[in-house]
Structure 1
Amino acid sequence: MNKAEFITQIAGDMGTTFIAAKRFVESFQRTVTNALAEDDMIALHNFGCLYTRKQGERPVRNPKTGEPVTLVPRTTVRFKPGKLLLEAINKHK
């Protein structure tokens, strides 16, 4: 599902226009991005948690040349699914 399909689905579920749903999705993206940039955790009850994790400097290899390179420290985003989300996606299998 791409972004336009996602927005269309939300618009249908909410009974609103595509434009209103698009504004909601873009606002949600900005809010999540700003919170994670400030190192806040986002916990959506029964859905899951988004949080940042620091990765230290580490040696890696360039897959094209095989040359060893050092990867600079960075921050990544992790998602931990909630219990109800896991139950919902595993119920259909």
Structure 2
Amino acid sequence: MRSGNEPVNARSALRLRFWLGLWGLVWAVFGTAVFALLGSPGWAAACGVLVLVVLVDLTLVVRHIHQGAHWQPDRTVPPYEPGRGDGTGGR
């Protein structure tokens, strides 16, 4: 449901997602190195795949951060009517 004040109060979690992804990347790289040194190729490969997934996610997050804010309706656009769950939009 839209209350009408989202452009004023909306917050993005992209920066939090970036820092958590970076933290996960550090641990995944660490895990890959440790498992490779211990001679566990399966676990090292699993951590290596996780490194790739986190890198893709971080790339998308940075891309979205660099895109900046998207269009938000101004104060002249009324809030949406709350829906009833049947797709009619409250009509």
TM-score by length of 2: 0.29
Instruction: Please tell me whether Structure 1 or Structure 2 has the larger radius of gyration of its CA atoms.
Output: 2
TM-score by length of 1: 0.29
Larger RCO, structures 1/2 (Cα 8 Å, 6+ apart) = 2
Higher strand proportion (structure 1 or 2): 1
